[in-house]
Amino acid sequence: MGFFDTLMGRSASRRNPSSASMAKQRLVEVLVQDHVKITPEVMEAIRSDILKILSRHLDVDADQLQINLTRTDRGDNLVANVPVRRGAGSRH
């Protein structure tokens, strides 16, 4: 379990969902994206900005970066899963 998963109280089973739940989550994300009116170009710009900023300080695995919009009872959330390579510390 990752540091942020532990910090946020997420369980390992939640991180390894079944194919059906992954498909359902993707559908929800597409619907939320459509509702929020974020175009693929805007999502790519957000992805690029996140990589640019975090890469200043961490060794980020850009190929594995995932950005999703999710819907909760409290509203819509932009969630970024940013893998950091092991042994990566401050890049200063």
Q: For 2-48, how does the pLDDT look when each residue is reduced to its tens digit (9 = 90+)?
A: 555 555 555 554 556 688 877 777 766 666 656 667 788 888 898 99
Residue 45 lies in a domain: yes
Residue 36 lies in a domain: yes
User: CA torsion 31→27→73→53, rounded to 10°?
Assistant: -80
* Domain limits for position 39: 18-81
Residue 27 lies in a domain: yes
Number of domains composing the chain: 1
Residue 10 lies in a domain: no
Residue 89 lies in a domain: no
Residue 29 lies in a domain: yes
Q: What is the pTM of this model?
A: 0.54
Residue 61 lies in a domain: yes
CA distances from residue 29 to 47, 60, 68 in whole angstroms, order as listed: 16, 24, 6
Distance, CA of 26 to CA of 59 (rounded, Å): 27
